Amino acid sequence: SQKIEQNSEALNIQEGKTATLTCNYTNYSPAYLQWYRQDPGRGPVFLLLIRENEKEKRKERLKVTFDTTLKQSLFHFTASQPADSATYLCALDMGGNAGNMLTFGGGTRLMVKP
Amino acid sequence: DADVTQTPRNRITKTGKRIMLECSQTKGHDRMYWYRQDPGLGLRLIYYSFDVKDINKGEISDGYSVSRQAQAKFSLSLESAIPNQTALYFCATSDPGAGGTYEQYFGPGTRLTVT
């Protein structure tokens, strides 16, 4: 079965710096890879989706890359702010043949210090 | 979160009790899901439903049952609660987006403690 690895240790960075989070997976590449933000005690919130044939996708201060050779997605948050502090989850969607079900990673906690 | 609501938000119950967690959505989505989240283990799928007549077991369905009363309502029951079912429970919904993708929309969660 698919295994997803996200750094379980918190990432601490200074305000204004770029945060880079990683999502590694084993086995087959997903049709889509999704990123979610989760604040303490709250449900995850969808941020961005990238398809297997897309190398990079941007949304405001966020850039996500997807490398099917390395089996890795990188999540870059530029000009980080304390309000960006949260846990970020990646999720793999294996596509329609698998019912578009999501498999989630354990998440990485990002702490942005002022 | 307002589009997907969960009740109760917090619940403490005793071992052996039967309890029900409820989920309602106003997004008009056909697909609904129940997950549990434990520290360090991420979200794990308990049950999912693609429509009112289609209910399927997920990765960790033992000890749980569900009911899809309507398109908008999906309930999760713990038949006889045990302490290792202490966790944060989330309901989610989805439908195909513009590109045929299935982003999920989560409720605020129910924190369940079994003593």
pLDDT (tens digit, 9 = 90+) per residue, B2-33?
799 999 999 999 999 999 999 999 999 999 99
Picking from B43, B45, B102, the nearest residue to A93 by CB comes out as: B102
Quick count: other Cβ atoms within 10 Å of Cβ A39?
11
Please choose, from the candidates B15, B17, B10, the residue with its C-alpha nearest in 3D space to the C-alpha of residue B114: B15
User: Whose CA is closest to A84, among A45, A33, A58?
Assistant: A45
For residue A63 the two structure tokens come to 């850039």
Query: What pLDDT does residue B64 have?
Result: 97
**pLDDT for position A3:** 84
Contacts of A42 in chain B (CB under 8 A): 1, 108-109
Q: Do the chains contact at B102 and A102, CB–CB below 8 Å?
A: yes
DSSP-derived 3-state class of residue B45: strand
Minimal Cβ distance to A104: which of B43, B101, B111: B43
What is the number of residues in chain B?
115
CA of B2: which chain A residue's CA is closest?
A: A43
- DSSP result, A16-85: TSPEEEEEEE-SSPPSEEEEEEE-TTS--EEEEEEETT-SEEEETTEEEEEETTTTEEEEEE-S--GGG-
pLDDT tens-digit map of B39-92: 877 899 999 999 999 999 999 999 999 999 999 999 999 999 999 999 999 999
CB B29 within 8 A of CB B6: no
CB B31 within 8 A of CB B102: yes
Residue A36 to residue B79: CA distance in whole angstroms: 31
Q: Which of residues 33-92 of B touch A (CB under 8 A)?
A: 35, 40-45, 48, 50, 88, 90, 92
In a mutational test of the B interface, the residue from A6, A66, A101 whose CB has the highest number of chain B CBs within 10 Å is A101
Contact B101 A32 (CB under 8 A): yes
Four-residue CA torsion sign, B36, B37, B38, B41:
positive
CB of B111 within 8 A of CB of B9? yes
Please determine, for residue B1, whether its predicted confidence score (pLDDT) is greater than 60.
no
Residue B99, pLDDT score? 76
What's the gap in Å between the CA of B41 and the closest CA on chain A? 5
Give the pLDDT score at B115: 97
Q: What is the pLDDT of residue B91?
A: 98
**How does pLDDT run along chain A (114 residues), one tens digit per residue?**
678 999 878 999 999 999 999 999 988 788 899 999 999 989 999 999 999 889 899 999 999 999 999 999 999 999 999 999 999 999 999 888 788 889 999 999 999 999
